Structure 1
């Protein structure tokens, strides 16, 4: 028996070795090209129209935390079992007919196209007059139908699934893309898909504490706990229970100019709009090295003087006139620009609302946060720990439901009731407007096949207690006050 083998077997061995060497060379070249162009190629999709820029433009979240475009596109097709229904729209993301991505998602080419998040994912919502009405899309309002936590959990669960492999995903990508070129195939097979899977698994591990929180539901987010886990690498399993829940409603972001100098965020922990904006960008996936300052500034300049939307339905002017004086006597000092207490923090002992969001922002969080953007002129330096919640101006308040910082009261009319008379459970995620109570319809569990989110005020962070102002008014006075607040 020959040690070397027959000429035929030797030829086959050489052929196999050459093939493997050729694949290795191709992969090595693809890797080299990938990393070279990752450095020199950085091209976001831009929009001439400022509202389109707000909805779809990049703020710098794609280079590090973005998902390769074709992977992002096929995830709902491969993992439909991990979504409430078909497509990203089942998580409340808003799609427009002529746009490739839902509102709040942006695209940037860093050698390959990547998809990230921007400001609009938290600050664009929808409105219907009734069930049969067409949906209105309103920018800069709270994202009342968007389930951001659902998205985070979806991409994390997909990454852990055995189907998240090149063998399973590439055919689906080929099908919807019309075909990748050979270099793209190599990049997706050997780099993009494996690296994305690993990155999403790592992110899911960092955010595993979400499984120990009450579900956020649509229109809400935990602002600072993800910071602790992903930016600062806090040991989340070692934190106090009352520090691990900080869920709040998305705020509106119109009319920012008169807010400069007021205590911002729900707990008033910063008074500089620009610093608040950069902090919010980090929450959308931007990093200190990828932040796109010119494009963020373009959004900020637009929001600086963007007026709040006017109430679009009929108003009883006689009743509103009565309510105007009631508002001046009971509310204006805390909730109108120029009021003596507007933008100031009310101690938690006085305001009496749910303390979890306040407790979640700790001195340790503060000390770490003020190191962000170190080495840059815009390093954070204005964050402070407070002892309560800030009085916020109520421009466009009709469109900000549900109410209180944690969205625990569905309407303005119900906010004027004592806590024990406010709804203990209600449904979020419906965009049909309740013109009488001033809020979104909250007593309907489902519409066709869509299930709305059941909000339980007995869960940690969800209490509807406190803010007793106006609760002693008579029923007619409350009706008049609510009618006037439609005009703010």
Structure 2
């Protein structure tokens, strides 16, 4: 039977465990050492949730929620006391954060302001200032409701609306800076006993600077006129687009050196991520030992306020060949811990204590159909073997027929190289940057630069997951430790180049096109479907609301449905779509499919009879 962990008990246990911040820090050197932030109760009620057995204990769960990866949005104390733009209600209020579909939890030593899961405290080593930033759990934890029971699913794709969250945050910062009364309340709370007119004036100056920088970030990632106002919306984000712009526009300090992030995708589920040979929806990054997960995770932080900056090196460094210098707030040791925990995460089994019991007869019929229709791409991995490595199937985009925007943008978006022109694209490998380049190469260069800047820390962080979950003698040396960081990095770069070359070779003749886009060499990743019941909506871009709809012929799938509801539909296996917080639309007002929102393609299993489709859905509940 699935072990059910009451979240109230988890919070109590974790709070007791973390009550002494120094004890927590002794086990996790990446965690902030700030101990003087007063514990504040959450601004509102915390829902009672239950947790499923996914291989984590309470300590691991809480650590994953609040260990920083080095992202910094605004100072922590500011976020604690910031009001919403159009009211005196705190921005962090549980009702407001829940409306954005983030998950409020109780305050603790590692979460002193009672912020939602994944809103982590990060310390600036130079200034000692505390910042709030997103960590993995903000985007990869979800709550699923059914008949009054709220189930917390670790590693599941969030329903959160990041674009709306950040837009409202920008408005709140600007309103606080512009409104004297609002600023006065903010300043007195932030400064506390240290409040005086001079400090308040300095605070307002700093607030104005961060409000401007935040508004610039929103502007760079804005969609142009013609897109639905909630095109990105709940449960999806153009992560690649944000990472590209973090490199080309922000790291290179040119706000015009941007691309439109118009290919939002569902947040992927995390279980099985460490075990796959490749990661990303377009299978663009190899999971090579040591540096593969580290490079992948640093890239993710760059996209969520990692503060990457690439600048011309000082004159004295250029004399001996160093042309550029790299800086960021990325916490590599924190990422080592986070990846170690992800390695031990397991998929959630369908909880029959809370959901309707699976029909065994239908599921048995569905198992045979799955082998015929699905298993060649989505292999079946028994739960006992979820910790083992697997090779993901990489299907040409032209063959699978799903929306191509994500894969195409990742390869064909261009940007100016600026200060990087003439430098090796991979620093220790690759051709030199010309005046323009594929946009994704800029943050990739920045990530490699950060790894090479702190090789000892990078190697330590990269090796940490190698032993996560191992039993027995931990003093045995891992063969990976015999290689230098630079050699690991060269192996990773070579694996990435081989991956790209292999995709081009296997993708068929040039000229594969959808909507005029040349898809030669572009693929999407297919992975095992363990825990798929907890990951709606489906397809990489979240354009199909349920497993039942996915089995309909593409031209017969629904083209409009509501997103944002947490209530599970256990029959169709997806969230309830008759109500929600925004409406997903495949087509625009003229009936034309909106690029990025297509629900076509993936015809596998769609020729089955309705009875066979229902059997297949029933079986997929058991995965």
Q: Give the shorter-chain TM-score range.
A: 0.7 to 0.9
1:49 is matched with which residue? 59
Please give the secondary structure, in 2, of the residue aligned with 1:322.
helix
8 A Cα contact 2:187 2:203, kept in partner: no
Query: How far is the alpha carbon of 1:284 from its aligned partner?
Result: 2.2
Task: Describe the superposition over 1:105-137 as per-residue Cα deviations: whole angstroms up to 9, x where unpaired.
Answer: 11134333321111111101111113xx14222
Q: Is 1:277 the equivalent of 2:297?
A: yes
Instruction: Measure, in 1, the Cα distance between the counterparts of 2:394 and 2:534.
Output: 23
Query: How far is the alpha carbon of 1:169 from its aligned partner?
Result: 4.3
Instruction: Measure, in 1, the Cα distance between the counterparts of 2:208 and 2:261.
Output: 31
Higher alpha-carbon deviation: 82-91 or 411-420: 82-91
Q: Which of residues 427, 433, 436 is equivalent to 2:571? A: 436
2:374 is matched with which residue? 331
2:268 is matched with which residue? 251
Q: Which of residues 100, 116, 137 is equivalent to 2:152? A: 137
Please give the secondary structure, in 1, of the residue aligned with 2:286.
coil
Relative to the length of structure 1, the TM-score reads 0.79
Gap change, CA 1:178 and 1:138, over 3 Å in 2: farther
Kindly report which structure 2 residues correspond to 1:374-385, keeping only aligned pairs within 5 A, or say none: 374-375=448-449, 376-377=451-452, 381=493, 382=496
Gap change, CA 1:57 and 1:362, over 3 Å in 2: same
2:330 is matched with which residue? 291
Instruction: Measure, in 2, the Cα distance between the counterparts of 1:150 and 1:342.
Output: 36
1:305 is matched with which residue? 344
Instruction: Measure, in 2, the Cα distance between the counterparts of 1:284 and 1:244.
Output: 14
Task: Describe the superposition over 1:310-357 as per-residue Cα deviations: whole angstroms up to 9, x where unpaired.
Answer: 111311111101111111111112111679x96132112210101111
Task: Describe the superposition over 1:231-282 as per-residue Cα deviations: whole angstroms up to 9, x where unpaired.
Answer: 2129887888xx74120001110233421x2x32111111215032222222
Q: Is 1:427 the equivalent of 2:568?
A: no
Greater helix content = 1
Instruction: Measure, in 1, the Cα distance between the counterparts of 2:227 and 2:202.
Output: 35
How well do the aligned residues superpose, as a CA RMSD in angstroms? 3.3
Task: Describe the superposition over 1:125-170 as per-residue Cα deviations: whole angstroms up to 9, x where unpaired.
Answer: 111113xx142222210002x1111012112333444x42584444
Instruction: Measure, in 1, the Cα distance between the counterparts of 2:83 and 2:345.
Output: 35
Gap change, CA 1:205 and 1:444, over 3 Å in 2: closer
8 A Cα contact 2:144 2:151, kept in partner: yes
8 A Cα contact 1:128 1:134, kept in partner: yes
8 A Cα contact 2:81 2:186, kept in partner: yes
Query: How far is the alpha carbon of 1:94 from its aligned partner?
Result: 1.1
Higher alpha-carbon deviation: 458-467 or 198-207: 198-207
2:97 is matched with which residue? 88
> For structure 1, which runs of at least 5 residues remain unmatched after alignment?
1-40, 446-451
1:229 is matched with which residue? 245
Query: Considering only CA atoms, is the larger Rg found in Structure 1 or Structure 2?
Result: 1
8 A Cα contact 1:427 1:444, kept in partner: yes
Q: Which of residues 212, 217, 237 is equivalent to 2:233? A: 217
8 A Cα contact 1:351 1:467, kept in partner: yes
Relative to the length of structure 2, the TM-score reads 0.63
Instruction: Measure, in 1, the Cα distance between the counterparts of 2:226 and 2:241.
Output: 12
Task: Describe the superposition over 1:68-103 as per-residue Cα deviations: whole angstroms up to 9, x where unpaired.
Answer: 223223333444499999633321121014451111
Q: Which of residues 592, 601, 612 is equivalent to 1:477? A: 612
8 A Cα contact 1:333 1:342, kept in partner: no
Kindly report which structure 2 residues correspond to 1:129-278, keeping only aligned pairs within 5 A, or say none: 129-130=146-147, 133-144=148-159, 146-161=160-175, 163-165=176-178, 167-173=180-186, 176=189, 179-182=192-195, 185-186=199-200, 189=203, 191-209=205-223, 213-214=227-228, 215-233=231-249, 244-259=261-276, 261=277, 263-272=278-287, 274=293, 275-278=295-298
8 A Cα contact 1:44 1:58, kept in partner: no
Please give the secondary structure, in 2, of the residue aligned with 1:135.
strand
Please give the secondary structure, in 2, of the residue aligned with 1:232.
helix
Query: How far is the alpha carbon of 1:404 from its aligned partner?
Result: 0.3
Query: How far is the alpha carbon of 1:428 from its aligned partner?
Result: 0.7
Gap change, CA 1:177 and 1:164, over 3 Å in 2: closer
> For structure 2, which runs of at least 5 residues remain unmatched after alignment?
1-30, 38-56, 309-326, 383-389, 413-437, 453-457, 459-488, 501-520, 588-593
Instruction: Measure, in 2, the Cα distance between the counterparts of 1:245 and 1:81.
Output: 34
Instruction: Measure, in 1, the Cα distance between the counterparts of 2:332 and 2:576.
Output: 39
2:399 is matched with which residue? 350
Instruction: Measure, in 2, the Cα distance between the counterparts of 1:175 and 1:239.
Output: 38
Instruction: Measure, in 2, the Cα distance between the counterparts of 1:462 and 1:70.
Output: 38
Q: Is 1:68 the equivalent of 2:107?
A: no
